[in-house]
Amino acid sequence: MDIKVTNLTKRYGTQVAVDNISFEVKTGEVLGFLGPNGAGKSTTMKAITTYLDPDAGEVFIGSFSARRHADEVRRHIGYLPENNPLYTDMPVIDYLRFVAQLQGVPTPVIAERLLEMIRICGLEGEKHKRINELSKGYKQRVGLAQALIHNPDVLILDEPTTGLDPNQIAEIRDLIRRIGREKTVLLSSHILAEVEATCDRILIINKGRIVADGTAADLRRRSTGHDVVRVCIEDAPANEVFTALQALETVAVVDFSRDKAACLEVQSKPGTTSRREIFSLCTANNWVLTEMTPLETKLEDIFRELTLQ
């Protein structure tokens, strides 16, 4: 089931939290919703899950409108809100049974669904404990189990790994990836490595607006715009090499490499590459070219570039 958001806007007083955004998530896709704190991620998710009425715009889950068919939409969505609110006095199994009943899971299949969720979310050892006795990672698994209990087609996960330790993060990511094969997943995070590790596509939001949409590779490609290679040249005077590289017609900037001694980073002018010229230069001077490696812009740089305004 697809998610379709069109021209969504939400204001709080004079503050525009979400500013006319549109995007789609296709069935089987895990979309990472990335942005700094206060960008509008949770607000968008609340509008998708019908917890909040937008000022303008439409949300569709499959053919159901969040505005007109809120009950249908809720039935098809599993939602793990920010801060994972749970009834912490309840034992895990009782809480999940309660959510299953609320979500209208037919009574005869509830027991079976509970067992399945406990298995999928790795809660066997914890199912009889009270929720407030669990570690944060296990609480998060209970949050995921409650979001999945009615077998929804669409999962909305708001910062699902916040506050977890690295092992717990790896486990939750793995779980989300596994679940994501069959469902439509929208996952928010302010951590870049997280969305890169878990998601097929990344949507970057800043100050309520979408500033980028694509795979990690797309974002890198779009941002670079110019070709950068690291070249390592041996048996040649460094200064002479530097000057000769700088004099090449296609070269924009030459810099000494930060991570490798005796190597240089050569950035070409937009729309060109200097690789052939560099090679020819070395052969003409009898310099030994031991390395020529294309350098990628780091996703962190792209994220900062897009969200630091």
Minimum separation from the CB atom of position 82 to ligand ADP (A): 7
Q: Which is nearer to ligand ADP, 39 or 114 (CB)?
A: 39
Q: Tell me, by CB under 6 A, how many residues bind ligand ADP.
A: 11
Q: Per-residue x/- marks for ligand ADP, 35-64, CB under 6 A?
A: x-xxxxxxx---------------------
Q: Which stretch binds ligand ADP (CB under 6 A): 30-38, 123-131, 177-185, 242-250?
A: 30-38
Q: Which stretch binds ligand ADP (CB under 6 A): 12-20, 106-114, 214-222, 231-239?
A: 12-20
- Residue pair 137/151 in contact by the 8 Å Cβ criterion: no
Give the one entry of ligand ADP, Mg ion, none that residue 15 binds, where binding means its C-beta sits below a cut-off of 5 to 8 angstroms depending on kind: ligand ADP
**Six token digits for residue 196:** 């890169």
Q: Which is nearer to ligand ADP, 45 or 281 (CB)?
A: 45
Minimum separation from the CB atom of position 159 to Mg ion (A): 6
Q: Which is nearer to Mg ion, 81 or 122 (CB)?
A: 81
Minimum separation from the CB atom of position 153 to Mg ion (A): 23
Q: Per-residue x/- marks for Mg ion, 34-73, CB under 5 A?
A: -------xx-------------------------------
Minimum separation from the CB atom of position 189 to Mg ion (A): 10
DSSP class per residue in the chain: --EEEEEEEEEETTEEEEEEEEEEE-TT-EEEEE--TTSSHHHHHHHHTTSS--SEEEEEETTEETTT-HHHHHHHEEEE-TT----TTSBHHHHHHHHHHHTT--HHHHHHHHHHHHHHTT-GGGTTSBGGGS-HHHHHHHHHHHHHTT--SEEEEESTTTT--HHHHHHHHHHHHHHHTTSEEEEEES-HHHHHHH-SEEEEEETTEEEEEE-HHHHHHHHH-S-EEEEEEESS-HHHHHHHHHHSTTEEEEEE-SSSTTEEEEEEPTT---HHHHHHHHHHHT-EEEEEEE-PPPHHHHHHHHH--
Q: Which is nearer to ligand ADP, 99 or 143 (CB)?
A: 143
Q: Tell me, by CB under 5 A, how many residues bind Mg ion.
A: 3
Give the one entry of Mg ion, ligand ADP, none that residue 38 binds, where binding means its C-beta sits below a cut-off of 5 to 8 angstroms depending on kind: ligand ADP
Q: Which residues touch 177 (CB under 8 Å, ≥6 apart)?
A: 30, 198
Q: Per-residue x/- marks for Mg ion, 74-113, CB under 5 A?
A: --------x-------------------------------
Q: Tokens 């890169």 belong to which residue?
A: 196
Closest residue to Mg ion, Cβ-based?
A: 42
Report if residue 161 touches ligand ADP, rule: CB under 6 A. Answer: no
Minimum separation from the CB atom of position 204 to ligand ADP (A): 11
Describe the crossing of helices 216-224 and 299-307 by its angle, rounded to 10 degrees.
Answer: 70
**Six token digits for residue 158:** 């708001």
- Residue pair 163/129 in contact by the 8 Å Cβ criterion: no
Report if residue 279 touches ligand ADP, rule: CB under 6 A. Answer: no
Report if residue 239 touches ligand ADP, rule: CB under 6 A. Answer: no
Q: List residues near Mg ion by CB under 5 A.
A: 41-42, 82
Binding site for ligand ADP (CB under 6 A): 12, 15, 17, 35, 37-43
